[in-house]
Amino acid sequence: MRRHLLVPLSVTVLGALLAACSSTKSPTTTATTSSVTTAAGSPPTTATAGPSGSFAKAHYTTNLAGVCPNPVIVQADWLPEADHGFVYQMIGGGGTQSQYTYAGPLGSTGINLEILSGGPGLGNGVNQPSSLYVGNLVKRVTPTLAFVSSDDSIQYSKQYPTTAVFAEYQKSPEVIMFDPSKYHITSLADLKAAMNGGAKAYVLSTTFSFVRWFIAQGIPSSAFIGGYSGDLEKFVGSGGSLLNQGFSTNEVYTLEHNTPNWNKPIGYAYIADLGLPFYQSSMSVATSKLTTLAPCLQKLVPIMQHALVDYVHNPAEVNTVLADYNNRGLGAAFWRTPTDLNNAATQIMLSDHLVANTPGTASIGGFDMTSVGAVVTDLTGVDQAAGITTINPQVKPSDIATNQFIDASIGLGS
- Do the domains 174-270 and 2-171+279-400 match in fold? yes
The percentage of the chain sitting over the pLDDT mark of 90, rounded to a whole number, equals 85
The answer for residues whose C-beta is within 8 angstroms of residue 342's C-beta and 6 or more apart is 81, 82, 85, 315, 319, 322, 323
Count Cα atoms within 13 angstroms, Cβ side, for 230: 24
* Overall residue count recorded for the chain in this entry: 414
- CATH number attached to the domain at 2-171+279-400: 3.40.190.10
Whether pLDDT at 92 is above 80: yes
What is the third-level CATH fold of 174-270? D-Maltodextrin-Binding Protein; domain 2 (3.40.190)
State the average pLDDT over residues 350-372. 98
Instruction: Give the C-alpha separation, 221 to 215, whole Å.
Output: 6
Model pLDDT, residue 51 = 58
Nearest to 333 by CA among 52, 32, 128, 124: 32
State which amino acid sits at residue 339: T
Angstrom distances, CA of residue 35 to CA of 48, 49, 98, 354: 19, 17, 19, 32
Domain definitions of the chain by residue range: 2-171+279-400, 174-270
170, 303 in Cβ contact below 8 A?
no
**pLDDT tens digits, 200-250:** 999 999 999 999 999 999 999 999 999 998 889 999 999 999 999 999 999
73-82 per-position pLDDT tens digit: 999 999 999 9
Please, are residues 366 and 279 in contact by the beta-carbon 8 Å criterion? no
CB within 8 A of 249, min separation 6: which ones?
81, 82, 83, 173, 344, 345, 348, 349, 354
Q: Minimal CA–CA distance to 331: which of 168, 138, 130?
A: 138
In the prediction, which pLDDT does 19 show?
A: 37
Among 369, 351, 354, 355, which Cα is nearest to 411's? Answer: 355
